[in-house]
Structure 1
Amino acid sequence: MKSTVEECIRSLGLELPVVTTPRGNFRSYVISNNMLYLSGKGAPLREEGVAVPKVGQEVTVEQARAYAQEVGLYLLALIKEALGDFDRVQRVVKMFGMVNADPSFTSHTEVINGCSDLFVTVLGERGEHARSAIGVGSLPKGFAVEIEAIVEFSLPHDRYA
């Protein structure tokens, strides 16, 4: 399925980004038993000192949804880095999406669908997940969205041999 997932991503006109090292005392992901915990990733990147627009004011739902898809691509790249390929993914268990939104904004679900839809499109049923989508007053670096995920994966057959 490795090639199928990556071919699907390419057929959408998308590509997996390069995984970067986090700036801080944390890891991009942690593996515990057969669970992969992905740290929150945000988008879009902003230059220091640039005003932080809010979703529902200066940022439209469509723009924020595209940012959520961008985050989804990065999370997929982390999964590939952590597991080697997508064959070992059993299921995306949970996503938690945060939207840097105007207090009156109520379309958080539509925004985070940018990530959820990508996962279901490229992983099929394995990409279907439980999810929370909330609005927040601010996010690090002025991100419009930040999303984290938990993924269940298969262990190598020889692990306990």
Structure 2
Amino acid sequence: MGLISEKLRTMGVVLPAPIRLPDGELPFPWVRVLGNRALISGHGPASGDGLYSKSKGRVGAEVSFEEAYAAARDTAYAVLANLERELGDLDRVAGWARVFGMVNCTPGFARIPEVINGFSDVIIEVYGLERGRHARSAIGVAELPFGIPVEVEAEVLLA
């Protein structure tokens, strides 16, 4: 067991099963390794069984800020689960390069970066500031697939 997997275990985190979409398989991979980089397709919050979490809707309407922040944390765990499946070991991640977060929200909802902090907080907690720190953008959108409140894509550098 690698150091990152051990850290997750001591945090009491069990990574979710692979995400299962309601309409079948993706025509592209969740994680694509190209040389010393791994490109991570957009992920949403997954529950332990791999289905998208029950939190659905727009932040500022059906979904509270607290639920959205938790959804962003769950999204980080879904990303880590797929990275582990693709790489075999989360210790292969030398550093997080960038994160792009999208929040399904009502017009005027201004706490978008704070929602995506849920994702960033997990990554920095797991990898530490030096390896976990990343460039980041966070935007609000009118809709996300399957009604999920948060979607994140990312890029990591590999050792």
TM-score (norm 2): 0.86
Deviations 1:63-84 (A, max 9, x none): 1010011010011112211221
Change beyond 3 A, Cα 1:149–1:68 = same
SS at match of 1:59: coil
Q: Are the aligned partners of 1:21 and 1:28 in contact in 2 as well (CA < 8 Å)?
A: no
Matched residue count: 149
**Are residues 1:95 and 2:99 paired?**
yes
User: 1:7: Cα distance to partner?
Assistant: 2.6
Segments of structure 1 that go 5 or more residues without pairing to the other structure are: 155-161
Counterpart-to-counterpart distance in 2, 1:116 and 1:30: 21
**Are residues 1:145 and 2:147 paired?**
no
TM-score (norm 1): 0.85
**Are residues 1:134 and 2:142 paired?**
no
Q: Percent identity?
A: 41
Segments of structure 2 that go 5 or more residues without pairing to the other structure are: 47-51
Runs ≥4 residues deviating over 4 A: none
Moved more, 21-30 or 141-150: 21-30
1:36 is matched with which residue: 30, 35, 38? 38
Counterpart-to-counterpart distance in 1, 2:38 and 2:105: 28
Change beyond 3 A, Cα 1:76–1:99 = same
CA-based RMSD: 1.8
Change beyond 3 A, Cα 1:87–1:46 = closer
Moved more, 105-114 or 8-17: 8-17
User: 1:91: Cα distance to partner?
Assistant: 0.5
Larger radius of gyration: 1
Counterpart-to-counterpart distance in 1, 2:135 and 2:53: 30
User: 1:119: Cα distance to partner?
Assistant: 0.4
